């Protein structure tokens, strides 16, 4: 496998870096905002762990997965197949 200088996992000359340089400003903005939101969520998570027992904080944190599934269905029109619903129910059931 090559290193970043020759394209790395993307393959070819300049592969990965050529793809990164090809991103438009809107995409880069949303990637940066996503990174910022992720960092802030971890800060909030660790603060919650300081304030409450992990046995209560962690399940609430993991509830984000089924919530995102519902929001993706409602807001983005993602398809809710029986397998997707079953997976969401299993994740939710695993919280107890």
pTM to 2 decimal places: 0.61
Secondary structure of 15-61 in HEC code, one letter for each residue: HHHHHHHCCCHHHHHHHHHHHHHHHHHHHHHHHHHHHCCHHHHHHHH
The torsion angles phi and psi of 35, rounded to 5 degrees, stand at -65, -40
| Under 8 Å between Cβ of 2 and 8 | yes
Give residue-wise pLDDT tens across range 41-67. Answer: 999 999 999 999 999 998 888 888 899
Give residue-wise pLDDT tens across range 14-32. Answer: 678 888 888 999 999 999 9
């Amino acid at each position: 496998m090559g290193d970043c200088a020759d394209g790395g996992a993307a393959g070819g000359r300049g592969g990965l870096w050529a793809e990164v340089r090809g991103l438009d400003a809107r995409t880069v903005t949303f990637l940066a905002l996503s990174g910022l939101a992720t960092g802030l969520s971890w800060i909030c998570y660790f603060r919650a762990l300081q304030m409450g027992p992990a046995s209560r904080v962690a399940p609430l944190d993991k509830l984000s997965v089924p919530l995102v599934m519902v929001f993706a269905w409602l807001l983005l029109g993602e398809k809710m197949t029986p397998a997707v619903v079953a997976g969401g129910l299993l994740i939710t059931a695993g919280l107890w």
